[in-house]
Amino acid sequence: MAAEMPATASPTLAGALFVPVRLAMGVVDAPLRALQKATGLTGMASFFLLPNMAIFSIFVLLPLVINFVYSMTGGTAIFLDGRSFVGGEQYQRLLTCASYLDPNSCVEDKFWIAVRNTGVFVVVQVPLLLVVALTTALVLNRDMRGRSFWRAVFFFPVLLSPVVTGLIWRWILQRQGLLNLLLFETAGADPHTWLTDRFWAFVAAVGVSIWAHVGFYALILLAGLQAIPRDIYEAAEMDGTRPARVFWRITLPLLMPNLLVVLVLALIRSVQVFDEVYVLTGGGPGTSTLYMIQYIFETGFASQLRNPGLAAAASILMGVVLVVLTLMQLAASRSSEKRGKR
Amino acid sequence: MATVSAFLLRRRGGAGWHWTDVVTWVWLIGGVILMFGPAVWLTLSSFKTPAALAEFPPSLLPYVTQQVMVEGHDKPLPLFTVTLPDGSTKALAEVRRIGLVAQMIDPADPKTIVKVDIAKRAPLQKIAFAASNYTEPFIHFDFLRYLWNSVFVTTMATLITLVVNSMAAFALSKYQFRGQSMIMMLILATLMVPLGVIMVPLYSIISALGLVNNLWGVILPTVATPTGVFLLRQYMLTIPDELIDAARMDKASEWQIYWRIVLPLAAPALAVLGIFSVVWRWNDFLWPLIALSRKELYTLQVGLNIYSGELNVQWHFILAMTVVTMIPVVLVFVFLQRFITAGIAGTGLK
């Protein structure tokens, strides 16, 4: 993996940028030399690890652990000592439904609306995203001039912040927006407020999230395509194999491990859909684009009836889904690595 | 021109046009329009006056109706092109409008009022960039504060990320010690822990540390990113251990080895992580939204979202602020895209 690091970075330029940092580092050398004398090489290893591990433990590991404790407490207090132990009550509240198919029959109806919305979003968005990303990767993999430019084109939205993405599309989809202008110019259609329509708001959420992320997945798939040995294609060409057959019999099977990695990555990200859609629709109209993260966010922080315990329980349920997906991803990347080594 | 079309129409193999060639070019050109178009449209819109923004159908470029000062009137009057009964056209200024009839005057002859059917006139427009959309938020809003907060958070978080992650990566790649593989496993296992899962307890931790409504509360939880440690470690593994042994023979301290040998050699990897850290931290939204509730501490992203959510949306300011928010990312894109796309394709980093 590291061997593929781009050689485009000029070490001298990057080095120059770090000059002040390196100067500052020179100052601490003497005390650290003393430390080294006292602790030896292994001691220095711990010293180098310490800052990162300390921050990591406080801000990642500790929250992971106390999330479980939180999910078993009740009340609106933020600190654990102000909260009462309620056992599995929060989970019970989340999971109590007369019928699991009807969110309105559940005690915590918003949770199930968010679950259902997220499920529908994932089922619709991920396959579309994969098809668009794969097509883009195939197109970018062709022999043509200006490849790095075309490659960058699709990557541009990936760099934009979700807030900017959401605002751009809100601006395009509003009444005086570009979409209405185009429909008016081409078909004389009356202006429509797309984001106040339940169906179109969902379509917009799916479309905008694909727009924002497709470049990332296309790039990973492109890397996979380029790892396929050229001579296989040359042999196919010699045999006069039709391009469609080449795609189904050579490209797709050989790309499968990468596709699998991308699929699971896309699933993991899609389950966590939040910011660009939140800025675009605010979860609305009504609850039609309310997704899991927004539910947890609002239950934990924003709503009048704040309930951090409930939010923590919901986040653990979501975490379970993500752990399963992550394990799938690890398995998928292992098999794709195996292919790379072969 | 011939070379351009020759370039654009180049085909694979040189034989006739295959349908895949057509798809390729439709996809590429459609891609350019779809990926850049929205941002360009937003930028063009950001130069429009509030009146032009409320128009339907909207114009592509920012136009304003021309105005003229006429003797006997306090305010400038809007100019219209009027089709006169004899078929000729003339530029007239509108005094007032009553129903379907507009009372208009010729700026050269302000005394005579001409009555014109409003269907017979069109506003006389010129392209004008409303720069005040950009200058006013600096004066009237906390925009400059937001900008500063974002710059501070991004710079600090990136510097700390680079230092702290590279130190950990150095330890994990160049030393043998007990628990090494366990720490590596721990870091790998949390690669996929999303903020969404830990945000409730994380908030209680930063409030216990007194970091709520403090920019450091936004910075610190983001700096020990497992992705960074992983990326740098993988890169440092390729640095030969013999170099380090040689330095030890020359009585270099471990710290010197780290900052004079390993860091410079890992510069390409540090650069990739640095660029990404800048983009990540500049774009962060959910965590600052949770950790900051005092207006003067908002980062650009939070400030923009809060403003755009207010009832009286002042879109002309929002659009201009959005464009400013986009600038650093566009600069990164323009100057470093080749580098970044290679980095992503190679490492799956994002």
Mean pLDDT of chain A: 83
The pLDDT value recorded for residue A80 is 76
Q: Which of A4, A52, A216 sits opposite B167 (nearest CB)?
A: A52
Q: Which two tokens stand for residue A174?
A: 């509003």
Mean pLDDT across the stretch B303-327? 81
Mean pLDDT across the stretch A305-314? 87
Taking CB atoms and an 8 Å cutoff, what residues of chain B touch A70? 200-201, 204
Res A148 pLDDT > 90: no
Q: Which of A46, A153, A185 sits opposite B35 (nearest CB)?
A: A153
The pLDDT value recorded for residue B93 is 77
Cα(B47)–Cα(B132) distance, integer angstroms: 8
Cα(A43)–Cα(A331) distance, integer angstroms: 35
Taking CB atoms and an 8 Å cutoff, what residues of chain A touch B226? 56, 60
Tell me phi and psi for residue A100, to 5 degrees. -70, -10
The pLDDT value recorded for residue B4 is 53
Cα(B12)–Cα(A337) distance, integer angstroms: 31
Nearest residue of chain B to residue A188 (CA atoms): B57
**A2 vs chain B: nearest CA distance in angstroms?**
5
Chain A to chain B, count of Cβ pairs less than 8 Å apart?
341
Cα(B334)–Cα(B350) distance, integer angstroms: 18
Res A76 pLDDT > 50: yes
The pLDDT value recorded for residue A5 is 42
Neighbours of A135 (CB within 10 A): 16
**A21 vs chain B: nearest CA distance in angstroms?**
9
Please indicate, yes or no, whether the overall pTM of this predicted structure exceeds 0.90: no
Mean pLDDT across the stretch B45-56? 77
**B263 vs chain A: nearest CA distance in angstroms?**
9
Longest dimension (CA), chain A: 81
Res B191 pLDDT > 80: no
Res A3 pLDDT > 50: no
Cα B334 from chain centroid (whole Å): 12
Cα A34 from chain centroid (whole Å): 45
Dihedral angle, C-alpha B82, B87, B90, B92, nearest 10 °: -30
Taking CB atoms and an 8 Å cutoff, what residues of chain A touch B41? 168, 171-172, 178
Of A305 and B28, which is predicted with more confidence?
B28
* pLDDT tens track for B60-115: 777 777 777 777 777 777 777 777 777 777 777 777 777 777 777 777 777 777 77
Helix axis angle for B267-283 and B215-223, nearest 10°, is 140
Q: Which of A49-53, A86-90, A243-247, A329-333 has the weakest average pLDDT? A: A329-333
Q: Does the beta-carbon distance from B339 to A61 stay under 8 Å?
A: no
Q: Which of A8, A275, A279 sits opposite B339 (nearest CB)?
A: A8
- Residue positions counted in chain A: 342
- Residue positions counted in chain B: 350
State which H helix or E strand residue B336 sits in.
helix B315-347
The pLDDT value recorded for residue B346 is 60
**A104 vs chain B: nearest CA distance in angstroms?**
25
Res A211 pLDDT > 90: yes
Neighbours of B198 (CB within 10 A): 25
Of A313 and B66, which is predicted with more confidence?
A313
Q: To probe the interface with A, which of B18, B174, B180, B200 has the most A CB atoms within 10 Å?
A: B200
Query: Which residue in this structure is represented by tokens 């004079």?
Result: B260
The pLDDT value recorded for residue B100 is 76
Give the three-state DSSP class for B123: strand
Q: Does the beta-carbon distance from A215 to B200 stay under 8 Å?
A: no
Taking CB atoms and an 8 Å cutoff, what residues of chain A touch B194? 272, 322
Cα(B81)–Cα(B122) distance, integer angstroms: 5
Percentage of chain B lying above the pLDDT 90 cut: 21
Res B149 pLDDT > 90: yes
Query: Which residue in this structure is represented by tokens 């800052």?
Result: A51
Q: Does the beta-carbon distance from A159 to B333 stay under 8 Å?
A: yes
Nearest residue of chain A to residue B45 (CA atoms): A171
The pLDDT value recorded for residue A119 is 92
Q: Which of A91-95, A248-252, B226-230, B344-348 has the weakest average pLDDT? A: B344-348
Cα(B293)–Cα(A78) distance, integer angstroms: 15
Cα(B45)–Cα(B331) distance, integer angstroms: 20
Contact (Cβ atoms closer than 8 angstroms) between residue B222 and residue B284: yes
Res B118 pLDDT > 90: no
Neighbours of B123 (CB within 10 A): 13
Cα(B20)–Cα(B122) distance, integer angstroms: 47
Q: Does the beta-carbon distance from A3 to B238 stay under 8 Å?
A: yes
Q: To probe the interface with A, which of B255, B260, B333 has the most A CB atoms within 10 Å?
A: B255
Q: Which of B45, B183, B194 sits opposite A322 (nearest CB)?
A: B194
Q: Does the beta-carbon distance from A79 to B282 stay under 8 Å?
A: no
**B282 vs chain A: nearest CA distance in angstroms?**
8
Res B215 pLDDT > 90: yes
Q: Does the beta-carbon distance from A216 to B259 stay under 8 Å?
A: no
Q: Does the beta-carbon distance from B183 to A53 stay under 8 Å?
A: yes
Q: Which of A55, A144, A161 sits opposite B164 (nearest CB)?
A: A55
Please list, in sequence order, all residues whose beta carbon lies within 8 angstroms of the beta carbon of residue A209, skipping any fewer than 6 positions away.
A125, A129, A270, A273, A276, A277
Q: Does the beta-carbon distance from B200 to A167 stay under 8 Å?
A: no
The pLDDT value recorded for residue A247 is 86
The pLDDT value recorded for residue A278 is 92
Kindly write down the DSSP assignment for every residue of B178-206, as one continuous string: TTHHHHHHHHHHGGG--HHHHHHHHHHHH
Taking CB atoms and an 8 Å cutoff, what residues of chain B touch A66? 201, 204-205
Q: Which of B57, B207, B268 sits opposite A5 (nearest CB)?
A: B268
* pLDDT tens track for A83-137: 778 888 888 888 887 777 777 777 788 888 999 999 999 999 999 999 999 999 9
**A73 vs chain B: nearest CA distance in angstroms?**
12
DSSP A193: -
pLDDT bin (cut points 50, 70, 90) of residue A21 is low
Mean pLDDT of chain B: 81
Res A249 pLDDT > 90: no
**B188 vs chain A: nearest CA distance in angstroms?**
10
Q: Does the beta-carbon distance from B171 to A46 stay under 8 Å?
A: yes
Of B176 and A16, which is predicted with more confidence?
B176
Side-chain-facing half-sphere of B218: CA atoms under 13 Å: 31
Taking CB atoms and an 8 Å cutoff, what residues of chain B touch A36? 253-255
pLDDT bin (cut points 50, 70, 90) of residue A1 is very low
* pLDDT tens track for A45-75: 888 999 999 999 999 889 988 888 888 888 7
Res B283 pLDDT > 50: yes
The pLDDT value recorded for residue B216 is 94
Exposure string of A234-273, with b = 16+ CB inside 10 Å and e = fewer, is eebeeeeeeeeebeeebbeebbbbbbbbbbbbbbbbbbbb
Cα B294 from chain centroid (whole Å): 23
The pLDDT value recorded for residue A18 is 61
* pLDDT tens track for A160-205: 999 999 999 988 888 777 888 888 878 877 778 888 889 999 999 9
The pLDDT value recorded for residue B310 is 66
